Each structure stands twice: as C-alpha cells, then as structure tokens.
Amino acid sequence: MNSLISLTARQIVDGLKAGDHAPEELLDALEGRIGEVDPRINAICVNLMDRARGRLKGLSATARESLRATPLAGLPVLMKELNDIEGVVTCMGSTVLKDSVAPASDLTVQTLERNGATIFGKSNVPEFAGANTYNDVYGTTRNPWDLRMSVAGSSGGSAAALASGTAWLASGNDLGGSLRTPASFCSVASLRPSPGRVARGPGQLPFDTLWVEGPMARNVGDVGLMFDAQIGYDPRDPISLPSEGLSYRAAAERLLRPERFAFSPDLGVCAVAREVREVCRTAADKAASDGVAMSEAPPPLAGVYEVFHTLRAHLIAGLYETLIREHRDEIKPDIVWNVEKGAAQAVSEVSAAERERAGLIAGFDAYLEQEKFLLTPAAQVLPFPVEQKFPTKIDGKPLETYVDWITITFALSTVAVPVAVVPCGYSKSGLPVAMQIVAPRRREHELLSVAAYFEQLWDCSSNVPLDPKEASSVPA
C-alpha cells in the first residue's frame, strides 16, 4: 500500500498546507490504489480524475496559494453518486436516468470545492438510495472486510472506498441510515448532522428534515475535518444554518469522556441480532468500567416505526411519483411500492404522523436532557451475503418491509438529532460492528469530542484502510 494512502486525511491536509506534497501527487496515489483494489470492490462508479487534474492544471500560482489556505487545501474527496456535479451524469443507480447530465453542481459539492476539495470520482449507490448497494447501471459494491458480503447503503460505495483506501474523505447523505449502516458494515466513522447544518439542493422538497448531507471518513478526527468544509448557511437552502465559528476538527481531536450515557440495545422498537447486541453491550460496559455512569433507561420512541414509514412514503412519493408513473416497469419493485404507498396515503394520515412526530421529538429531547448521550447499535444485523437484497428476518423474527432492518437508524432520523457512528468491535467471524452515539440537537461540537473518546476506548479505527479479503478474520 502506498504510504500516502495509509495516512489520515488530517495528516494529508497538514502536508498540503506545508507544501510537503501536491494534490496531483495524491491523485496519482489514489489512481494506483483504485487500480489495485477497486475492480474487486466496485466502490467508485464514476472516475473524475481527468476533471480533477484539469481543474488543478488551470490554477495560477496565486490560486494555488489560496487553495492551500482552505480547510481541505486541495485534498481529493469522493462524492456520492446522488450528488450533482456539473457536466457529470447523476443517475441514482437507475437505467431510467443513465443519460441524465447535471446542469450544475449541487450546494454540497459547491461548498466542498469552495473549501478546497478536489473531487476525483463518484461512489456507487443503490437504485434511488435503498439500503443495499447494487444497481443495473454500475453493478454491486462488495465489502472489503469480506468480499462475499454487502456494504449496505445507500452510502455503501463511500464506506467501502474509505475502508479499502481509495478515498480519505467521502460524502454521504442519510434519510433512514445511509450514512450509518454502511459505516458499521465497513468499520469507518460518519456523522448524521442536525438538519440544516449542511446546505443541500436546490431540491424539490427544500423544507424536508428527514434527509441530511454529512461526512464519512476512516476516523472521527477526519470526520470533523470534512464537516468543517461542509457546514454553513446558503440562501438557496431555506433551512440551512449559519456556521457557529467552531472548529469541528479541533472538537474531534479533543477527547471528552462523558459523565453519563444511556445504552439501549434496540431502542425498544426493533429486533437486533444477538451477536450485534453482545458486541455493543461489551463496548458499552467498557465505558462503564472506565468510570462513565451508564443508564439503561429506554428512549421514548413508541410509535416511531409507523410515523417514519408514513413520512418517508410521503417524501419518496413527492420526489419520484412522476418518474414512477412514466417508467414503472423499469424501476425496482421496492421503490415502486414505496412511491405508490406514499401517493395513496390520505392527507389525514400524513397530518397525524407530523403531529405524532412533534410529540416524539419533545419526548426524546427531554430524555437526552436527563441522559446526556445515547449509545445504540448502528446496524441491527452483521454484514450479509451480497446476493441477498435485504434481510427478511432477524434471529428468526420476520420483517415486514425492505427497510425494517434499518429501524434502529431511521427511528433516530425521525427525532432529528445528530448521530455519530464509531466502530466498536467485531463478530466472532471478524465482521465489523459499530455504535451510534446520539447527542442533543445541534450539539455536534460536543458529540464529536465524545465520539473521539469512545473511538480511543474501543480502538478499532486503526484497522482501516485494509486490503480486500475473501473472508474476514478478527484483527490482531
């Protein structure tokens, strides 16, 4: 492995600012690593190396100095396929949109480039952002921890690239768990921020708060670095928030042991595989043994399953109803079902779900005021065979829909809190397991400091990047 590949994103950025290496050198290192490992993983579906080199070649000496002064200083960054980049196809993994070229870059891309990102490619996604990364345009992404296994979704390509060393930073977005489940399956870190922290769009539903954009990286400190380059107000996003003037990188590098936290193995609302429970229980107990007060008070989330399904269907229908009407037979049945469910819902159902969501948010806020932080598994299951579209049962208990196996993440999307994901251990066969760390709304600064404490305590992050494995084994 090229020595540059194994460095953290922060080390690379510090080197760029010091003039120790140039962005072109980093692109060369990535190109070599991609050629070495990505044919087996298929994490990167769109190669933008020529675009990246062309943009760098056109920079004057003064512009290069300005680039070095930005938060990312020219660091190569991988974007998720769902993000629009001017002049590049955005097809969302669908054959229906395979020739759809973006007329302009979206706000997330614009912000990252303004803050020094050199975008070198796009990562693979499920069709229309499902929870398992395969599609008929770019194929299937495999898990570098065990090439027989799934990377989950929808930010599965981003997570696999980070874990295998074909990216230092990668973008993701999250409606029901898309930043979190892939991070767990690939043993990397991520942050689902509070709604409004990262400007999005312009989009069809600008006031939606279920879907957010956020960072993914190999470790918490690098997540903080990328978050610094993503945040900020943009008048084109009506819910975007102004920067607080804080350094999230600095916060992620300052370990904060919390006074107390609550641990819930299942949020009281879903099935979680026994082995996942055991690994997460061991991780939580380790913090308790380190002197942190641990509560097992269950979070007040009764009814969240029905609320999320109603609101998600409403959102999906708003985004894709016209497309489904025109191309129903060309889109996978799960997406068609979800859109048609949303289109058929009565206004009274959606209104009732919104009212119940308000109660859930108020109750959860009060819970966190008491417990300070909540720890819960980042995935209900271990990585499963890549040929399996999605789990249909957990420890023998049947699941009703194709997204029920991510209830543990979408329940937290519903109450609009920030959530960090940190790897916390491994199954008996060596597959990764991670924890969600939940903080009160808009407290990302404190959340990252606490996440850094847990990352050091659990000591898993140094095991990536790794070479792809035909089967996993427990790291030494």
> What string of H, E and C letters represents the secondary structure of the chain?
CCCCCCCCHHHHHHHHHHCCCCHHHHHHHHHHHHHHHHHHHCCEEEECHHHHHHHHHCCCHHHHHHHHCCCCCCCEEEEECCCCCCCCECCCCCHHHCCCECCCCCHHHHHHHHCCCEEEEEECCCCCCCCCCEECCCEECCECCECCECCCCCCHHHHHHHHHCCCCEEEEEECCCCCCHHHHHHCCEEEECCCCCECCCCCCCCCCCCCEEEEEECCHHHHHHHHHCCECCCCCCCCCCCCCCCCHHHHHHCCCCCCEEEECCCCCCCCCCHHHHHHHHHHHHHHHHCCCEEECCCCCCCCHHHHHHHHHHHHHHHHHHHHHHHHHHHCCHHHHHHHHHHHHCCHHHHHHHHHHHHHHHHHHHHHHHHHCCEEEECCCCCCCECCCCCCCEECCEECCCCCHHHHHHHHHHHCCCCEEEEEEEECCCCCEEEEEEECCCCCHHHHHHHHHHHHHHHCCHHHCCCCCCCCCCCCC
Quick one: pLDDT at residue 332?
86
Would 311 be classed as within a structural domain? Answer: no
Could you list the residue range(s) of the whole structural domain that residue 42 is in?
Answer: 9-300+367-385+405-463
User: Has residue 450 been placed in a domain?
Assistant: yes
Catalytic residue among 105, 178, 187, 194: 178
Judged against a pLDDT cut of 90, whether residue 160 lies above it is answered with yes
In a domain, 314, yes or no: no
**pTM tops 0.85, yes or no:** yes
* Number of domains the chain is built from: 1
Active site residue 154: yes
Domain membership of residue 229 (yes or no) is yes
For residue 167, what pLDDT is reported?
98
Is 332 inside any structural domain? no
Mean pLDDT score, 111-130: 96
User: pLDDT tier at 201 (50, 70, 90 boundaries)?
Assistant: confident
- Render pLDDT for 66-76 as a digit per residue (tens, 0 to 9): 999 999 999 99
Query: Out of 123, 154, 158, 190, which one is annotated catalytic?
Result: 154
389-397: average pLDDT: 96
- Answer whether residue 319 shows pLDDT above 80: yes
Looking at the domain assignment, is residue 394 inside a domain? no
Per-residue model confidence (pLDDT) at position 471? 85
In a domain, 352, yes or no: no
Task: Using the predicted structure, report yes or no on whether residue 475 has a pLDDT greater than 80.
Answer: no
Is it the case that residue 1 has pLDDT exceeding 90? no
Average pLDDT over residues 259-285: 98
CATH number of the domain where residue 14 is located: 3.90.1300.10
In a domain, 127, yes or no: yes
The pLDDT of 24-50, averaged and rounded, is 98
Please indicate whether residue 171 is annotated as part of the active site.
no
Determine the average pLDDT of the residues in 250-266.
Answer: 98
pLDDT at 469 over 60: yes
Q: Does pLDDT of 218 surpass 60? A: yes
187 is catalytic: no
Residue 476 has pLDDT above 60, yes or no: no
